[in-house]
């Protein structure tokens, strides 16, 4: 078979120059039939090569047997099972070609969203540790939310991945969006829908906003591919080269960076997120005037040490409420303690672990109560709950009343005499 340049030269000499076929044969040193085929051809010659055998052909039947039973078996294991002793790349190529026949193919559709239709949500865990005080450094979750229509990204660092903190984070980010979409798409995060349906906390939050929480199928990250790509974008474009003095500093830097990132041109939508944000917001549901219940809440009986535990940290409460039930509510920034409508304590929320947060006022109150208790105990009286003194009787009076006699030993008499 002649090359393309020889084919082109034959056609030029014969059709443009009028050179006879015999002379072309002599000048170019090709055969007469080759010249005639070149002149009859409607296009340049294509060099094709027939199938060639490979040393892996003899192993293919055994490879197919293994893939039929174990479609996900790694190529290295297959090589061991079939006794392959040659180049590993040759076997890997053949296994990659055969595997889809047995495992199947899972196509990922490219979806388009209407304005206000969906916001995809996910947790991103940055590799950089953040200082949270008292010498501690932690890897904290970052809630990332991306609009399906405008591709606008909003994100916020959270102290934990508990349901109350996630709903508090969602509420704060939705206020940045200026509305609520018809659907909030989550994966099966334990505090949102680890059992396959929304948790009570998540369902209550969605009901207050008149929206719905849709859970992605298990092991199907492509369902929320938009936010997954946003996580990777944050990991590669925001995080490198930065250091953070606190979670608040992390969020501040992130907000400043997102203001620029949302002005970039997104090829998938052919526009900038900031240019489509207003259309997206107008199609969203209006946020309720009364914020939904978010944060961590609990109710416990206050012990003698007058501390309550929230997310692994201890916070002091007013000791006057010892023995009574107190209500605890923790937002992203504050821990508030109350008892029957009365304030029992308020502290900035600590993002540390195993920290103890104490109010000097509570310590002072505890000291006064302790001194009052010791004073009445020494005087042989105690104070009743309504304030009147109660006389304390000696234990020997009760022994005499019930006819209990104790015989002291000689050692005890000697000790008493001393």
Q: What tokens appear for 73 in the block?
A: 């078996």
Share of the chain above pLDDT 90, in %: 65
User: Per the domain annotation, does 406 fall within a domain?
Assistant: yes
Condensed to tens digits (0 to 9), the pLDDT of residues 301-334 reads 999 999 999 999 999 999 999 999 999 999 999 9
Together in a domain, 70 and 23: no
Per DSSP, the three-state class of 375 is helix
Condensed to tens digits (0 to 9), the pLDDT of residues 349-398 reads 999 999 999 999 999 999 999 888 887 666 555 555 555 666 666 666 66
Domain boundary among 250, 282, 314: 282
User: Per the domain annotation, does 110 fall within a domain?
Assistant: no
Question: What's the confidence (pLDDT) of residue 219?
Answer: 78
Which pTM value belongs to this model? 0.70
Q: Output the 3-class SS for 21-49.
A: HHHHHHHHCCCHHHHHHHHHCCCCCCCCC
pLDDT at 412 over 70: no
Together in a domain, 137 and 272: yes
Condensed to tens digits (0 to 9), the pLDDT of residues 276-298 reads 999 999 999 999 989 999 999 99
Q: What tokens appear for 126 in the block?
A: 């940055």
Together in a domain, 30 and 66: no
E-state strands within 259-350: 296-301, 307-310, 313-316, 325-330, 334-339, 342-348
Together in a domain, 27 and 148: no
User: Per the domain annotation, does 108 fall within a domain?
Assistant: no
Q: How many other β-carbons are positioned within 10 Å of the β-carbon of residue 275?
A: 14
Share of the chain above pLDDT 70, in %: 87
Together in a domain, 84 and 197: no
User: Per the domain annotation, does 288 fall within a domain?
Assistant: no
User: Per the domain annotation, does 290 fall within a domain?
Assistant: no
d(CA 322, CA 302): 5
- Confidence tier at 18 by pLDDT (50, 70, 90): confident
Condensed to tens digits (0 to 9), the pLDDT of residues 102-143 reads 887 766 666 778 999 999 999 999 989 999 988 899 999 999
pLDDT at 163 over 50: yes
- Confidence tier at 222 by pLDDT (50, 70, 90): confident
Together in a domain, 377 and 405: yes
Q: What tokens appear for 147 in the block?
A: 């609009």
219 membership: H or E segment, kind and range = none
> For residues 118 and 403, which has the higher predicted lDDT (pLDDT)?
118
Together in a domain, 32 and 134: no
Together in a domain, 71 and 32: no
Question: What's the confidence (pLDDT) of residue 50?
Answer: 60
Q: Which of 72, 100, 95, 71 is nearest to 82 (CA)?
A: 95
- Confidence tier at 411 by pLDDT (50, 70, 90): very low
User: Per the domain annotation, does 235 fall within a domain?
Assistant: yes
Question: What's the confidence (pLDDT) of residue 24?
Answer: 87
Together in a domain, 178 and 206: yes
Q: Which of 319, 351, 363 is nearest to 337 (CA)?
A: 319
Long-range contacts of 126-132 (CB under 8 A, 24+ apart): 126/234, 126/235, 126/239, 127/235, 127/239, 128/239, 128/242, 128/243, 128/244, 130/157, 130/244, 130/246, 130/247, 130/250, 131/244, 131/245, 131/246, 132/246, 132/247, 132/350, 132/351, 132/352
Secondary structure letter of residue 349 according to DSSP: P
Question: What's the confidence (pLDDT) of residue 415?
Answer: 45
User: Per the domain annotation, does 8 fall within a domain?
Assistant: yes
Number of domains comprising the chain: 4
Together in a domain, 270 and 127: yes
User: Per the domain annotation, does 175 fall within a domain?
Assistant: yes
Its domain, for residue 24, covers 4-40
Mean pLDDT, range 148-167, rounded to an integer? 96
Q: Which of 250, 216, 213 is nearest to 234 (CA)?
A: 250
Condensed to tens digits (0 to 9), the pLDDT of residues 177-197 reads 999 999 999 999 999 999 999
Together in a domain, 148 and 234: yes
pLDDT at 416 over 60: no
Q: Which of 261, 262, 260 is nearest to 275 (CA)?
A: 262
Together in a domain, 154 and 254: yes
């Amino acid at each position: 078979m002649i090359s393309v340049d020889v084919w082109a030269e034959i056609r030029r000499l014969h059709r443009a120059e009028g050179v006879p076929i015999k002379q072309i044969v002599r000048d170019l040193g090709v055969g007469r039939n080759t010249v005639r085929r070149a002149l009859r051809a409607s296009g340049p010659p294509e060099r094709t090569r027939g199938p060639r055998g490979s040393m892996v052909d003899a192993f293919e039947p055994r490879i197919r047997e293994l893939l039929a039973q174990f479609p996900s078996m790694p190529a290295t294991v297959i090589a061991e099972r079939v006794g392959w002793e040659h180049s590993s790349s040759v076997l890997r190529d053949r296994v990659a070609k055969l595997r889809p026949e047995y495992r199947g193919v899972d196509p990922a559709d490219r979806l388009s969203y209407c304005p206000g239709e969906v916001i995809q949500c996910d947790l991103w865990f940055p590799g950089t540790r953040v200082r949270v005080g008292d010498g501690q450094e932690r890897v904290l979750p970052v809630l990332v939310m991306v609009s399906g229509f405008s591709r606008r990204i909003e994100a916020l660092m959270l102290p934990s991945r508990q349901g109350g903190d996630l709903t508090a984070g969602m509420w704060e980010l939705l206020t940045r969006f200026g509305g609520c979409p018809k659907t909030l798409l989550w994966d099966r995060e334990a505090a949102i829908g680890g059992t396959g349906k929304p948790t009570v906390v998540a369902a209550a939050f969605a009901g207050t906003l008149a929206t719905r929480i849709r859970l992605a199928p298990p092991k199907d990250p492509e369902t929320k591919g938009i936010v997954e790509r946003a996580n990777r974008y944050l990991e590669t474009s925001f995080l490198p080269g930065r250091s953070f003095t606190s979670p608040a500093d992390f969020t501040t830097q992130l907000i400043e960076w997102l203001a620029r990132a949302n002005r970039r041109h997104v090829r998938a939508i052919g526009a900038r997120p900031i240019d489509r944000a207003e259309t997206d917001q107008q199609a969203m549901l209006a946020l309720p005037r009364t914020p939904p219940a978010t944060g961590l809440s609990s109710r416990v009986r206050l012990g003698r040490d007058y501390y309550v535990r929230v997310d692994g940290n201890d916070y002091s409460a007013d000791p006057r409420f010892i023995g009574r039930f107190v209500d605890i509510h923790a937002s992203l920034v504050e821990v508030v303690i109350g008892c029957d409508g009365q304030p029992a304590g308020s502290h900035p929320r600590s993002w540390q672990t195993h920290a103890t947060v104490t109010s000097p006022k509570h310590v002072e109150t505890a000291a006064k109560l302790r001194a009052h208790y010791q004073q009445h105990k020494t005087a042989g009286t105690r104070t009743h709950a309504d304030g009147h003194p109660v006389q304390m009787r000696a234990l020997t009076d009760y022994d005499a009343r019930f006819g209990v006699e104790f015989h002291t030993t000689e050692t005890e008499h000697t000790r008493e005499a001393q």
